[in-house]
Homo-oligomer: A and B are copies of this chain.
């Protein structure tokens, strides 16, 4: 970070408008919402988009990073919570609420190669790992489930609910609950295949 002088007032405002507009547009039309539409929604010229984010992928990455950073903060805070099981549920709920859109993949194929995304993801993965470990120690999480499993399953409730045309906006909660029940040690049967490594 050699030269980090502050943005001009209008530029900073536009950057914010763009991030918000892009998030909305991606939520509605998936990752292939057009840059032109995003610019229009933000009330800004298309050139401005590319001034702030050299590439569409960079724009996506910026949104991803924002969200993952926020989730990391929350996760680290929740590690202090008394009830480890409830902490995990709260974290997954927040994760699902943050992204009601389908398909804004956390691993973001293309942009996963950008280092910043990777770093943000690793931090979040660490937070999830810690939450999972604590929950497991308190007997709220089955022994054979890893943090990586939880990380991957984070996206599932929204994905599943996303395919119902006129779904209740709370439908994802239903599938989150189902998944949480599957993660508990009670009726656990042994899992096939080994847990994936994510870094």
Contacts and interface: CB of A to CB of B under 8 A. Distances in A.
Contacts of A67: none
A149 B174 contact: yes
Contacts of A106: 163
A160 B167 contact: no
Interface residues of A, number: 43
Contacts of A168: 193-194, 196
B160 A156 contact: yes
Given A159-B159, A182-B178, A164 B194 contact: no
Contacts of A198: 164
Contacts of A189: 177, 180-181
Contacts of A182: 178-183
Contacts of A186: 186-187
Interface in A31-84: 32
Nearest to A172: B193
A192 interface: yes
Interface in A114-171: 145, 149, 152-153, 155-156, 159-161, 163-165, 167-168, 170-171
A15 interface: no
Chain A interface, >50% SS class: loop
Contacts of A196: 161, 164, 167-168, 171
Contact of A178 (B153, B167, B170, B175): B153
Contacts of A170: 192-193
A178 B174 contact: no
A174 B193 contact: yes
Q: Sorted from nearest, which 7 A-B pairs have the closest CB atoms?
A: A182-B182, A186-B187, A173-B192, A174-B193, A181-B182, A170-B193, A178-B182
8 contacts: A32-B32, A152-B164, A156-B159, A161-B196, A170-B192, A177-B189, A184-B187, A187-B187
